[in-house]
């Protein structure tokens, strides 16, 4: 990383690695359609075996992830995902589902990426809207 600043693409790459580390499967990145763009489309598998017994539902999720990176501290990056952006993300998700189908319940997450001391820090908001 150069001087602690990232590009949007680098932040998305870091988020994809972060999600893989949490057990998600990345299905697609930077999906573009007439309705908008999806940064990351992933599957979060449901709980199985002992985890299912302890935690309940085995339901997995089809996760549409919006990545937000900001280098300044003027405001929280998640604040950039307002009503209009949410509508565009929903349209893009509908197009993706129409193209690829859906195995799990859909969910929209927002992941903020900030750098502190040159190291990325993630703030993951599941089911953000």
Q: What percent of the chain has pLDDT over 90?
A: 60
- CATH number for the domain spanning 81: value is 3.40.1350.10
Distance separating alpha carbons of residues 113 and 121, to the nearest angstrom: 6
Mean pLDDT of 47-59: 55
| 52 has a pLDDT exceeding 60 | no
- In terms of DSSP bridges, do strands 119-125 and 105-116 run parallel, antiparallel, or are they unpaired? antiparallel
C-beta neighbour count of 53 within 10 angstroms: 10
Is 2 inside any structural domain? Answer: no
56 contacts: CB under 8 Å, gap ≥ 6: 47
List, in sequence order, every beta strand (DSSP E) within 2-127: 25-33, 36-44, 61-69, 105-116, 119-125
Domain residues for the domain of 80 are 8-125
| Total domains present in the chain | 1
| Average pLDDT score, the chain | 85
- In-domain check, residue 46: yes
Q: What is the mean pLDDT of residues 11-40?
A: 96
- The predicted structure's pLDDT at residue 2: 46
Find residue 37's DSSP bridge partners: 32
Does 1 map to a domain? no
The whole-number average pLDDT for the span 27-40 is 95
1 — pLDDT class (breaks 50, 70, 90): very low
User: Is 3 inside a domain boundary?
Assistant: no
69-122: pLDDT as tens digits: 876 565 665 677 889 999 999 999 999 999 999 989 999 999 998 887 778 889
Q: What is the mean pLDDT of residues 17-41?
A: 96
Can you give the pTM of this predicted structure?
0.83
């Amino acid at each position: 990383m150069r001087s602690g600043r990232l590009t949007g693409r680098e932040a998305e790459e870091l988020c994809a690695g972060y999600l893989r580390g949490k057990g998600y499967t990345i299905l697609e990145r930077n999906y573009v359609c007439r309705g908008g763009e999806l940064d990351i489309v992933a599957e979060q598998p449901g709980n199985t075996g002992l985890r299912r017994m302890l935690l309940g539902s085995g339901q997995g999720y089809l996760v549409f992830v919006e990545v937000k990176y900001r280098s300044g501290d003027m405001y929280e990056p998640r604040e950039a995902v307002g009503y209009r952006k949410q509508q565009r993300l929903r349209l893009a998700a509908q197009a993706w589902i129409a193209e690829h189908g859906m195995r799990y319940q859909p969910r929209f997450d927002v992941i903020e990426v900030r750098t502190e001391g040159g190291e990325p820090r993630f703030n993951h908001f599941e089911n953000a809207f």
